[in-house]
Amino acid sequence: MNLHKEGYRIIAWSFLIIMAFNLLLHQYVEIYWLKWSLTMLSMILFMLIVYFFRFPARYVLTQPDEVVAPVDGKVVVIEEVFEPEFFKDKRLQISIFMSPLNVHATRYPVSGKVIYSKYYKGKHLVAWHPKSSELNERTTIVVDNPVIGPVLFRQIAGAVARRIENYSVVGKEVEQGADAGFIKFGSRVDVFLPLGTEVYVIMGDKTRGGETIIAKCPKLKN
């Protein structure tokens, strides 16, 4: 199983703490069933931490005007909205909610050049709250694709998520499906696409980041 680089330090520290805990446990606790129950619980906890930071290889062959899901999760929003931060006009919003059991790596939905990348400190409303896209801790990234134009996606922290890692740097050329960052524990990602986009998913659909094609956008006019 491939692990995301954001997990290396946490996994190493977790291993050391759990090992120290078990050494003390077996040295000072004499009740047999309690000692081994706590040992098993600590090992399960460690396996869950490792599982959370998994980073499976993903690849899908797309057309130049198709958009892939940036994360694993469930589609919770498909609607036309006014996007006030970058476009300042109406866009089609597709939002994907990630539970703590989903892969939490974020991938680029399209290829192109990063033209905008900004972090906002904010609240920690539950990730499916309608206002979480505007009020929660978040990052906004815009990738300018030569075929369909700029695509905005937003990493949003949830009630549990407390840290967002964003690898996007303005001017950087990025590839669709490549590693764009990581959100630690339960969260959501919004994607903003041009009006007239053909949507390939419906509410409640499960997505796989970097693999599920969620939409086909209108091509730029020459």
- Reported as a single tens digit per residue, the pLDDT across 30-56 is 888 888 888 899 999 999 889 888 888
- For residue 160, what pLDDT is reported? 56
Residue 16 phi, psi (nearest 5): -65, -40
- Reported as a single tens digit per residue, the pLDDT across 82-134 is 999 999 999 999 999 988 888 889 999 999 999 999 988 866 555 555 555 56
The catalytic residue positions are: 187
- Reported as a single tens digit per residue, the pLDDT across 67-93 is 999 999 999 999 999 999 999 999 999
Nearest CA among 211, 217, 215, 117 for reference residue 166: 117
Determine the average pLDDT of the residues in 153-172.
Answer: 81
- For residue 185, what pLDDT is reported? 67
DSSP H/E element including 135: helix 132-135
